[in-house]
Structure 1
Amino acid sequence: MTRPPIKAVIFDKDGTLFDFRQSWGAWTRALLAELGGDSAHLAAVLGFDPKACDFAPDSPVIALTTAEIAAILHPHLTGLTLAELIARMDHQATQAPMIPAVDLPAVLGGLAAQGLTLGLATNDTEAPARRHLTDAGVIDLFAFVSGSDSGWGGKPAPGQLLAFATQLGLEPAQIAMVGDSLHDLESGRRAGMARVAVLTGIATQADLAPHADVVLADIGGLAAWIAAQSQA
């Protein structure tokens, strides 16, 4: 069945707009330093290699919500409530040195100039997400910004994506979901959206291709792909 023209795009944030290893490797190092204790053990719990500043493919940091990551980490800590841990994680997230995967003002500005409405759906919480978009100089390009604490749940559930479609008055099939993880693509599938995978996260082409309509090196190739769909 032929898809209708794509009129909007909803992006994942980490690993999609921002390079995952460079950005969240720094966050994880800072969080482990702040928490103290057996940092080697905590790093192993998070599937993180501090020396290489890299993540195991099944690291909970890659795709889970802040609350879910905290729930995994909390049993290995003492003297800190779960709520306090989440607050510390959120604070570190706002301070994380986010490294754009591409020239975001140019690429996202080009998509907006193409007439596409842009949204964000992240398993990070909303306040750090808005801070990261603001620091990158692109917050004004987004008509919708949702975190895991914004009221629509986290991915792979489709709540954030469907809220974006409802806000715009579009059918989900008129929207492309762009992400770097299987959680992103599964949320797009459940929502009934086109699914675009990018390779600026941890997952590989082989991981993502069976679950995506297309796999791109990064979001810089998105405008051409969307334009090609309208001509198909």
Structure 2
Amino acid sequence: MKRDPLLWAALAAVLVVLASAEYELAVACGFGTYVAAGVPAALDVYALAALRARRDVLAVVLTLIAVNAASHLVEVGLLPVSVPLVVAVSAVAPLVLWRVHRLSEVRPAAPEVTEPVTVERVEDDQPEPVALVARPLPEVVPASARMLPVVARPEPVEVATSVPAETGRQVVTEVVTLTPAELRRKASKLHREAVRSTNRPVTIKTLQDELSLSRREATELRREIVGDRS
């Protein structure tokens, strides 16, 4: 119950007013002076228990109305004290005991009802991802690799007949791996051509230019080629 002073004051006033009528009805039905006070006390306890439990509130209100009305009717002589009235007033105490006991019981909490969750599956038309396979890395270029100029073919260009056009040559540098055996073979070929054309061995300068070698490398290669030939 809320801790409101006005609410408690109103409740106390109502119970006092009702207790007076309930006491007079119990005395009229044959209860003793002290025992009759138990009837309003029992009804007051029942009313407080119902308000606290928030159950049987309507039944308590109807009971209090009936007892209060019957008391005033007996007091003014409009309702005679009969057997049914005495039985009804006598049953107040046992009925209050039963209801207060029921109200004191703690009701189990109702289980929460959860609605089933429906999951819709959306069909995806996208293809499944393709696993990428790592390609093996190329081998490391050996120390004997040399870079030789490679001349790329010019792409055809449409030119008007009245205007002469010149197509330039595009030089692309590409790494070409030459093994020592290939270097010796190319150097031997250059040596043979030099001997055939000039009747002299190949020069160091020719080896440098044709095979992109340093002077020291060209000198050692010429020494091997010319020495083998001699």
TM-score range, shorter chain: under 0.3
Please, what TM-score do these two structures have when normalized by structure 1? 0.20
More strand by percentage = 1
Rg larger for: 2
Structure ranking higher on relative contact order (CA contacts 8 Å, 6+ apart): 1
